[in-house]
Structure 1
Amino acid sequence: MSTPIAILLGAGKGVGASVIQMLHGKGYRVASVSRSGGQTNDQNTLSLAYDLSTPTNVSAVFKKVRDSWGEPSVVVYNGAALHPTNYKMQFDVSLEHFEQDLAVNTTSVFVALKEAIASFNKMSASATGTFVFVGNCLNEAPLADKGLLTLGTGKSAAAYLISSAANAAAANEKDSRFYYIDQRTEQGDPMLKGVDGPAHAEFIEELIDGKANAPPLATFVKDQGYKSFPRLT
C-alpha cells in the first residue's frame, strides 16, 4: 500500500503546525507551504516556499508534489490575508490591498480546489479525497465593528466554493469530501480569540476518517467535534 500524501497550504505555528503533526502521526507524507518555506525536506516532508497571493503558485505546489510523490488525497487550505480598516470607513481599503487579500482568501482557494479535484479523480474507486478550508464565522456574520472587510469577503466566497465543490461531487457520485470549518465556543459564538490549533487538527482528522458526519459548512467545538448552531445572522 502506498504512503498517503497531504498538502497543507498556509503553514504556521498554530493551526498549521498542529495539522502537520496530526498528518505525520497518521503516516502521511506532508508538503507544507508558507512564504518562507522550511529547512526539512526528506522522503516524508516537503517544506515549500510559495506566496499564496500569486494563485499560479498553487498549481506549482501541486506539480512539485506530483513530481516528487504522486497525487495528494488530503488538501488543507489554511492561508488567510487581511488589511484591516477602521470599521466606520471599511471601504477606505485600497484596490491593491483588496485584490491581494482576495487572491489569498479566494482565488488561490479556487485553484487549490481545481487541482485537488483533478487529483481526487485519479484515485482508485475505494479511495476518498478530502479538502478542508480553515474558515471562521465571517461567512455568516460580517462583524461590522471589526474592520474585516477583505477577510470576510474572501471567507464568504470560499464558503461558496466549498459548497459548490461538495454539490458537484455528490451530483457526480464521487466519494470526495469538501469542508469549510469554523471553530465556535460551546454556546455557538464566534471564536474571536483562543483559536485552538490542536482542536482544529483533531476535527480535521475526524473529517479525513469520515467520522464527523458533518456538512460541507461545518461548525465545531473543541473536544466535541461537529456541532450545529443557528446561523449568526
Structure 2
Amino acid sequence: MAGNSPVLLILGSGPNIGTAVGKAFADKGYRVAFASRRADSEKSTAEEVHMKVDLAVPTSIAEVFSKVKEALGIPSVVVYNASGGTMDNPQKSLGVPLDAFMNNLNLNVNSVYAAMQSALEGFAELDSCASKTFIMTGNALNKAVFPPMLSLGVGKTAAAHLIEYAAKSYAITGYKFYYADQRDEDGSPAWFGIDGEAHAKYYLKLAEGKSQGIWDQTFTPQEGYKVFSRYI
C-alpha cells in the first residue's frame, strides 16, 4: 500500500545525482520528494512530489519537511545534495565578497544543519524498522585545499564535521549519518566525472544498512567503499 511505503526526501534534486537517486529509491518502493529551486510542482503525483525551495535560506527547510510529511509521510531517508561556492580571486586570496561567502555558508552548512534537525524530529516518530538515514553528497574538499575553491571547501569541511558529530552522537539510536564522497581510482576527487547512477546504488546500500557504518564514505563507482592514502 502506498500509505505504508517509505519516503525519501532529496534536497537539491539536480539532473544527475538527484534524478538517479530518486529513480533508484522509487524502484525500491519509496515515495520520493524532490526539493530544489527549479522544481516543477506540476510534475507531482500521489507517489512523487516536486517543490520549490531556496536552500540558501535555512529557515525554509522546516517547511519543506512539513509539506513532505503532509503529502507523502515522514521521510525515513534524507539526501542533502545541494552545494555551491564562489570562486576565490587568484590575484587576491581571500577575495570572496563577504555577502557571497555568507550565502555559500547558508547553502553548504546552515541548511544542512537545519535539515539534520528536521530529519531527527521525523526519525523519532518512525517505527523501529525504518531506515532513518541522512546522507550528504560531499567531495574531497573536507580533506584537501584546492584553490580557488575557498567557500565551498569551508562549507564541505564544516558540513562533514556535522555529519561526523551526528554519526557519533546518534549511533546508539539506530539513526545513520553519512558524508558520501566519490573518488577516482587513485583517490583524487571525481570533479567532472560524478556518476549519478553510482551514487544511487551506493545511497541505497547505505540506507538499507542496519546500523551506522563509517561516516566518511569515500567510494568509487567500480569498487564501492575504499580507503585512500591520498587526501585522507
The question of a shared fold, defined as TM-score above 0.5 by the shorter chain, is answered with yes
Is 1:49 equivalent to 2:52 in the alignment? yes
What secondary structure, in the 3-state scheme, does the structure 1 residue paired with 2:231 have?
A: coil
**Residue number among 35, 38, 44 corresponding to 2:37 in the alignment:** 35
Q: CA deviation at 1:27?
A: 1.0
Does the aligned pair in 2 maintain the 1:90–1:149 contact within 8 Å? no
Is 1:215 equivalent to 2:206 in the alignment? no
What secondary structure, in the 3-state scheme, does the structure 2 residue paired with 1:92 have?
A: coil
State the percentage of identical aligned residues.
Answer: 38
Report how many aligned residue pairs link the two structures.
229
Structure 2 CA distance for partners of 1:214 and 1:226, relative to 1, 3 Å: farther
Q: Which shifted more, 203-212 or 24-33?
A: 203-212
For 1:134, the aligned partner's letter is T
Q: CA deviation at 1:89?
A: 2.4
Q: Which shifted more, 1-10 or 205-214?
A: 205-214
What secondary structure, in the 3-state scheme, does the structure 1 residue paired with 2:93 have?
A: helix
What secondary structure, in the 3-state scheme, does the structure 1 residue paired with 2:162 have?
A: helix
What secondary structure, in the 3-state scheme, does the structure 2 residue paired with 1:89 have?
A: coil
Q: CA deviation at 1:77?
A: 0.3
User: Which residue of structure 1 lines up, in the alignment, with residue 161 of structure 2?
Assistant: 160
Normalising by structure 2, what TM-score?
0.94
Does the aligned pair in 1 maintain the 2:163–2:177 contact within 8 Å? yes
Structure 1 residue ranges (4+ consecutive) displaced by more than 6 angstroms after TM superposition: none
Measured against aligned partners, the alpha-carbon deviations of 1:200-222 in whole angstroms (never above 9, x if no partner) come to 11111111111898410110001
User: Which residue of structure 1 lines up, in the alignment, with residue 21 of structure 2?
Assistant: 19
**Which residues of structure 1 form unaligned runs of 5+?**
none
**Which residues of structure 2 form unaligned runs of 5+?**
none
Does the aligned pair in 2 maintain the 1:102–1:150 contact within 8 Å? yes
Structure 2 CA distance for partners of 1:177 and 1:212, relative to 1, 3 Å: closer
Report the Cα distance in structure 2 between the residues aligned to 1:202 and 1:91, rounded to whole angstroms.
38
Report the Cα distance in structure 2 between the residues aligned to 1:64 and 1:126, rounded to whole angstroms.
23
